Chain A
């Protein structure tokens, strides 16, 4: 059938991620123990600069070749992706990223060596990954900064809804380089401090991390349901939100309706910035009072365009293991009492609300429930 059904809700047949800790299970276990994969690294890599907290996947430095240094983590993730003719008509792939291969352009500017230029365009890096992962050519690419992964999930859902696909692979990646680390450091939100998401403290700080993740969406297979997906873009300021918190409230309203009557917990965006963190926490408390709120970027860093998919995989692992990690890196008084700083049992919860935010006042959220 080639038609759109408004009541369609895709299922998640599989998901996984690779972070600086390792694959999904290892990452989940490390977060349960409150571990942090962050290390202080000069923000411009070999060129020096202030030390900032980063979580790089093993065998990578900020100056590692692009995209060659992605291979180990891609191979690790590929081992978790169920076999299927990905990248063909009935099995399309939706790739999302914030930075793609832009680190290669930085390396070129530094070295003047044109061999660094291959695969540095968005589509060039996607083509490289598609070859590496042995996908076909039915591959779409989206890039909307740190809500990118949510675009892939929504587009994949619509392909399934319209009958254009049997299964869809949503794939998201971001690897750090001085290009992006230098940018966040210039914005002053990436600094010498380590993040403490949702903590009511004097100064804000984020950490950044490498990561790659996937989710397989289907019409009727899988233990979890994407019960709602939501996007909202304030377009108020390039890096700030409406101070009133209206953007957060607008974006949460749809999810609140979908979650009505269900016991849910919340995985917030929670980078460690103060203004956005406070707006997010207060909006969540107003919308989902009493529901535990966690953020994991204090452990794995903010994995940029991939964060929505990385953290979705960790949410699903939390349901599967019966325990969700608390907010990593946060121990003192928080903006709201709902912030959970210790692990908690997921047994009594029917679903989770997962949120991401990006430049431009972009909000993306989803409600994932047991199928």
Chain B
């Protein structure tokens, strides 16, 4: 069995807050020169990460289906004179890289993952397989504009971060485990489809989750 304890958790749901308002609200978290260039996704992921305080030796697993949606939209709009800054900002891992560069916080392992209905599950398994004593799982999405109209972006901006430790320390929030099942399910049993916003809602509600990972393998997230 592989298990991790949820040592800290932060969820960031900005609702309909505009990017400038988010920037204003988070202005104390980042150096001014970095703040003015950060996207809304970078800001909210940064705020979530600030709560779990990344350290170099903590592997960071970052999950996002769409990544830097506004940066991507703006970069595409910049053609036929593509913006070098927006090109950098549009790359998938940039949501987590922005706060980490702002803080000059190096990391050994940084896993930027993408996916659809199984993304949260794949991210959790990746976190469980990391050998470090403490591992961070964070993620988020950014509400799109014209990409959203084509169903190519998230309808909602949010972010979350969890610090997961091998041993329980103090007043931990819950536990995530991966273990063999004694009874196998039907061959057609697939992992439950749970898109990132659904997983985010689960974190807000501290709702438990049990889902097959393989036919004889189950992931469980439970709260104290």
Q: Check: B145 CB closer than 8 A to any chain A CB.
A: no
Partner of A231, one of B93, B110, B179: B110
Within 133-159 of A, Cβ neighbours of B (below 8 Å) are at: 137-138, 140-145, 151, 154-155, 158-159
A151 to B61, CA, bound (A): 11
Q: A144, B92: Cβ atoms under 8 Å?
A: yes
Q: Check: A3 CB closer than 8 A to any chain B CB.
A: yes
Q: Cβ of B178: which chain A residues have Cβ within 8 Å of it?
A: 2
Q: Cβ of A64: which chain B residues have Cβ within 8 Å of it?
A: none
Q: B152, A238: Cβ atoms under 8 Å?
A: no
Q: Check: B8 CB closer than 8 A to any chain A CB.
A: no
Q: Check: A320 CB closer than 8 A to any chain B CB.
A: no
Q: Check: A315 CB closer than 8 A to any chain B CB.
A: no
Complex interface bits, B208-224 against A, C-beta within 8 A gives 1, otherwise 0: 00000111010000000
Q: Cβ of B108: which chain A residues have Cβ within 8 Å of it?
A: 231-233
Partner of A164, one of B97, B110, B113, B217: B217
Q: Which of A27-35, A73-81, A113-121 contacts B (4 or more CB under 8 A)?
A: A113-121
Partner of B2, one of A142, A162, A182: A162
Q: Which of A183-191, A261-269, A295-303 contacts B (4 or more CB under 8 A)?
A: A183-191
Within 328-371 of A, Cβ neighbours of B (below 8 Å) are at: 359-362
A73 to B103, CA, bound (A): 42
Partner of B180, one of A2, A6, A360: A2
Instruction: Kindly report which residue of chain A lies nearest to residue B128, judged by CB atoms.
Output: A162
Residue from B79, B119, B179 with most neighbouring chain A CB atoms (10 Å): B79
Cβ of A2 to closest chain B Cβ, rounded Å? 6
Q: A47, B104: Cβ atoms under 8 Å?
A: no
Partner of A186, one of B66, B76, B87: B87
Partner of B66, one of A49, A121, A187: A121
Q: Check: B114 CB closer than 8 A to any chain A CB.
A: yes
Complex interface bits, B172-211 against A, C-beta within 8 A gives 1, otherwise 0: 0000001110000000001000000000000000000000
Q: B79, A155: Cβ atoms under 8 Å?
A: no
A232 to B104, CA, bound (A): 13
Given contacts A137-B190, A145-B93, A183-B82, contact A235 B101 (CB under 8 A): yes
Complex interface bits, B91-123 against A, C-beta within 8 A gives 1, otherwise 0: 111100100110111111111111110110010
Q: B116, A123: Cβ atoms under 8 Å?
A: yes
Q: Check: A218 CB closer than 8 A to any chain B CB.
A: no
Q: Check: A106 CB closer than 8 A to any chain B CB.
A: yes
Q: Cβ of A208: which chain B residues have Cβ within 8 Å of it?
A: none
Cβ of B52 to closest chain A Cβ, rounded Å? 16
Cβ of B104 to closest chain A Cβ, rounded Å? 6
* Contact size range, B: 35 or more
Q: B116, A359: Cβ atoms under 8 Å?
A: no
A121 to B190, CA, bound (A): 23
Q: Check: A122 CB closer than 8 A to any chain B CB.
A: yes
Main secondary structure of the interface of A (DSSP, over half): mixed
Residue from A121, A187, A235, A360 with most neighbouring chain B CB atoms (10 Å): A235
Q: Cβ of B106: which chain A residues have Cβ within 8 Å of it?
A: 232-236, 247, 250, 361
A187 to B82, CA, bound (A): 9
Q: Check: B65 CB closer than 8 A to any chain A CB.
A: yes
Q: Check: A109 CB closer than 8 A to any chain B CB.
A: yes
Q: Cβ of B101: which chain A residues have Cβ within 8 Å of it?
A: 235-238, 360
Q: Check: B72 CB closer than 8 A to any chain A CB.
A: yes
Q: B217, A109: Cβ atoms under 8 Å?
A: no
Q: Check: B75 CB closer than 8 A to any chain A CB.
A: yes
Complex interface bits, B51-95 against A, C-beta within 8 A gives 1, otherwise 0: 000000000000001110000100111011111100110111110
Q: B87, A158: Cβ atoms under 8 Å?
A: no
Q: Cβ of B105: which chain A residues have Cβ within 8 Å of it?
A: 235
Q: Cβ of A362: which chain B residues have Cβ within 8 Å of it?
A: 110
Residue from B2, B72, B81, B106 with most neighbouring chain A CB atoms (10 Å): B106
Residue from B81, B107, B114 with most neighbouring chain A CB atoms (10 Å): B114
Given contacts A4-B2, A159-B129, A187-B87, contact A151 B112 (CB under 8 A): yes
Q: Cβ of B103: which chain A residues have Cβ within 8 Å of it?
A: 235
Q: Cβ of A71: which chain B residues have Cβ within 8 Å of it?
A: none
Cβ of B217 to closest chain A Cβ, rounded Å? 7
Question: Which are the 6 A-B pairs with shortest beta-carbon distances?
Answer: A183-B87, A143-B92, A158-B129, A186-B84, A182-B82, A89-B214
Q: List 5 A-B contacts (CB under 8 A).
A: A2-B1, A4-B2, A142-B114, A232-B108, A235-B97
Binding site for A on B (CB under 8 A): 1-2, 65-67, 72, 75-77, 79-84, 87-88, 90-94, 97, 100-101, 103-116, 118-119, 122, 125-126, 129-131, 147, 150, 152, 178-180, 190, 213-215, 217
| Extra contacts besides A178-B79, A359-B88 (12): CB < 8 Å | A2-B178, A98-B92, A102-B72, A105-B147, A121-B65, A123-B119, A140-B126, A186-B87, A236-B104, A236-B106, A360-B93, A360-B100
